Amino acid sequence: MADTTLMSIPGQVDPVPVARDITPRTDGRIDLIGLPKDRIRELFAEAGLDAKQAKLRAKQVFHWLYHRGVTDFAAMTDIAKTMRPWLAERFYIGRPDVVEAQHSTDGTRKWLLRTSDGHEFEMVFIPDADRGTLCVSSQVGCTLNCRFCHTGTMKLVRNLTPGEIVGQVLLARDSLGEWPKGSMAGLDEVEDSAEYTSDGRLLTNIVMMGMGEPLYNFDNVKGALKLVMDGDGLALSKRRITLSTSGVVPAMARCGEEIGVNLAVSLHAVTKEIRDEIVPLNKKYGIEELLQACADYPGASNARRITFEYVMLKDKNDSDEHAHELVRLLKQYDLPAKVNLIPFNPWPGAAYECSTPERVKRFSEIVFEHGISAPVRTPRGRDIDAACGQLKTAAEKKSRAQRDREAAAAEATEAAAG
Ligand code: SAH
Ligand code: SF4
């Protein structure tokens, strides 16, 4: 049974997740998915291969796992026939379990997935004319409780492991039938590498915008994205990957330096009062600090702008003044910015409504008139609750009364401690 590393801290304290690279299995085999190539080599050496063999086999197996999407050692045709059962006895190639797969009328697909220890989470695939975006989860639930977000009301939270994160990408490739086909005699086969380009692919982009705050699960997200970007495997360019954060300021510079993907920031409000209310993390890392971290984000430039997400909440954050203030702030910090206006997606019990289409349009125009692109994001997959902020697994529901009781208990503990 996996160590679930539950995080019970609701909100204002940065959780310290315990990173683990191997999830033990009851059958004693080790799941290789999520491990870096060097770790696979070490494990092969520990299992008895000499250094040279371990290195070669790790390279071959890695290629099969991430370039070809194979889940069975028996299919690894360039590995000696006698070696394949030896590997299968000791190692395993896992995928998250699929509990349910749904298809929206607009083509969006949502999968309800389950970890080996029974936690449910979701991933969403959004096809467009010129690209296909996979929206990947980083945690089961989220500790941050943004008031407009359904995921924020979830009870149980644990970090997803690197294997469970990269596993979503592998599973999407499986479902979309997107692994390179054909025989493969050796690693250098030219015909094979020519097949592997992003042209005509369904899955071209990845956004870390599913359940959870990715920067509160930094090491595991980094480990998974390194595998996604590895040229010997999935080989997706960092330019096609975007990580969205609600504003975990201390982790932002590391994200740029160590992962190097595009950054999206859930800004959503331009005054302290309103942002404190709708994104409670703002009480810890305020707007100025956040925008300064954006200005300092490694790799940001006019060619690679930072996306500012702004959810349109009726009579809350959607006035002309708010739009002007947004422009002023982005200019003050000299940010290479684009703004993404997200119509609020409703969910049962939400305290907000979506702004009217006219209001959203006017807001967009004001920002645009000042030279900043501000498209309105078309909600996708609303009919299957796959749109931004609607992700929440049924198994994790808890009552309002229960949440209030827990909040009161936490406050009492804090008062006693302080
Ligand atoms: N936790 C990260 C990434 C996941 S959320 C973050 O907050 O940035 C992806 C985006 O959807 C965020 O910008 C989030 O604020 C937004 N969102 C959440 N709930 C929403 C809702 N009900 N309607 C529209 N957008 C929402
Ligand atoms: Fe968590 Fe993001 Fe939802 Fe906020 S918007 S509760 S950070 S998933």
Residue 258 appears among annotated catalytic residues: no
Domain count, the chain: 2
Higher confidence at residue 228 or residue 180? 228
How many degrees, rounded to 5, is the angle at CA 210 between CA 205 and CA 214? 95
Q: Is residue 206 part of a domain?
A: yes
What CATH number corresponds to the domain at position 87? Answer: 1.10.150.530
Q: Is residue 412 part of a domain?
A: no
Q: Is residue 209 part of a domain?
A: yes
Q: What pLDDT, in 10s, does the model give residues 65-114?
A: 999 999 999 999 999 999 999 999 999 999 999 999 999 999 999 999 99
Higher confidence at residue 28 or residue 198? 28
Which residue lies with its CA nearest to atom 5 of ligand 1? 209
Both 75 and 216 in one domain: the answer is: no
User: Pick from 74, 92, 110: which residue ends a domain?
Assistant: 92
Both 65 and 163 in one domain: the answer is: no
Both 207 and 338 in one domain: the answer is: yes
Asked if pLDDT for residue 412 goes beyond 70, the answer is no
Using CA atoms, how far apart are residues 348 and 222, in angstroms rounded to an integer? 33
Q: Is residue 150 part of a domain?
A: yes
Both 222 and 270 in one domain: the answer is: yes
Q: What pLDDT, in 10s, does the model give residues 296-354?
A: 999 999 989 999 999 999 999 999 999 999 999 999 999 999 999 999 998 888 999 99
Ligand 1 atom at minimal distance to the Cα of residue 266? 13
Residue 122 appears among annotated catalytic residues: yes
Both 323 and 180 in one domain: the answer is: yes
Q: Which residues form the domain of 40?
A: 30-92
What secondary structure does DSSP assign to 191-202, as a single string?
Answer: HHHHH--STT-S
**What pLDDT, on the 0 to 100 scale, is given for residue 4?**
47
How many degrees, rounded to 5, is the angle at CA 174 between CA 168 and CA 179? 115
7, 145, 148, 213: residue to mutate for ligand 2 pocket, most atoms within 8 A of CB: 213
Any idea which residue has 């495997």 for tokens?
Answer: 233
What CATH number corresponds to the domain at position 214? Answer: 3.20.20.70
Q: Is residue 228 part of a domain?
A: yes
241 DSSP β-pair partners: 206
Q: Is residue 20 part of a domain?
A: no
What secondary structure does DSSP assign to 2-65, as a single string?
Answer: ----B----SSS-------S--B-TTS-EE-TT--HHHHHHHHHHTT--HHHHHHHHHHHHHII
Higher confidence at residue 415 or residue 322? 322
Both 78 and 169 in one domain: the answer is: no
Both 117 and 152 in one domain: the answer is: yes
Using CA atoms, how far apart are residues 328 and 349, in angstroms rounded to an integer? 34
Beta strand pairing status for 120-127 and 97-103?
unpaired
**What pLDDT, on the 0 to 100 scale, is given for residue 409?**
61
Write down the catalytic residue from 122, 164, 277, 309: 122
Using CA atoms, how far apart are residues 295 and 288, in angstroms rounded to an integer? 10
Both 76 and 117 in one domain: the answer is: no
Judge if the beta carbon of residue 209 lies within 6 A of ligand 1: yes
Q: Give the pTM.
A: 0.88
Using CA atoms, how far apart are residues 229 and 222, in angstroms rounded to an integer? 10
Q: Which ligand is closest in space to the CA of residue 154?
A: 2
Q: Which amino acid is at 230?
A: D
Using CA atoms, how far apart are residues 178 and 189, in angstroms rounded to an integer? 19
The token duo for 64 is: 């099969």
Q: What are phi and psi of 140, to 5 degrees?
A: -90, 110
Using CA atoms, how far apart are residues 149 and 350, in angstroms rounded to an integer? 8
Least confident span in 123-132, 281-290, 406-415: 406-415
Helix (H, G, I), strand (E, B) or coil at 139: strand
Which residue lies with its CA nearest to atom 7 of ligand 1? 246
Q: Which ligand is closest in space to the CA of residue 281?
A: 2
Contact of 34 with 233, CB cutoff 8 Å:
no
Judge if the beta carbon of residue 294 lies within 6 A of ligand 1: no
172 — pLDDT class (breaks 50, 70, 90): very high
Q: Is residue 12 part of a domain?
A: no
Q: Is residue 16 part of a domain?
A: no
